[in-house]
Amino acid sequence: MTLNNWISAHYEEQGMAIKWVAFSLELIAGITLLLLMFITCTDVVGRYLFNNSLDAASELTEIGIAIIVFAEMPIITWRGGHVVVDMLDNFLGGTIVKVLGVLSILVISSSLYYLAAKIFFLGARSIRRSEASEFLAIPMGYVVQYIAIMSWVTAATVISYGTYHLLKKTKSTKNKEA
């Protein structure tokens, strides 16, 4: 089985390009999680057997968690994996629910875009100032800019996911009425 066939069989997203993006982001998150596991094991073994912990374990863990969270954010958003409370949907009319859906798409995507712009600016400032992590001297501005870029991707995902599902609901409602 080729990698393309495996990805087609295991990813529900529409279109091969989207499947590859999801696979790539999950691969990044998975490799990062594996590295975090090795770092944690090395730190614990060093601390308890050799009475000497891994100095950079905390900063590598912080960076690793940022990589994992922001690599998964667009995927979780596209799959609709966020918590949604729809208790009032049955009591409100379908039109009100759609209006609220459009409003939430606009608020969430514009908030993510605005925050990403501010975060990117802070990352650029951090790079200009040559700010680095304490133990390994990793330039933190690049990590911050990665967070901003993935937030922009998530904002685009919110818009595309929301539009797709609103159109899908509209078409299914029209088909039921016919």
Q: For residue range 88-121, what is the model confidence (pLDDT) as tens digits?
A: 777 777 778 778 878 888 898 999 999 999 999 9
CA 106 to chain CA centroid, Å, is: 18
DSSP state of 110: H
pLDDT confidence of 176, banded at 50, 70, 90? low
Question: Is residue 132 helix, strand or coil?
Answer: strand
pLDDT at residue 9 greater than cutoff 60: yes
Name which of 43, 44, 64, 38 is nearest 54 in CA terms.
Answer: 43
* Torsion angles phi and psi, residue 139, rounded to 5: -65, 110
pLDDT confidence of 62, banded at 50, 70, 90? very high
Give the Cα separation of 71 and 76 in Å (integer). Answer: 9
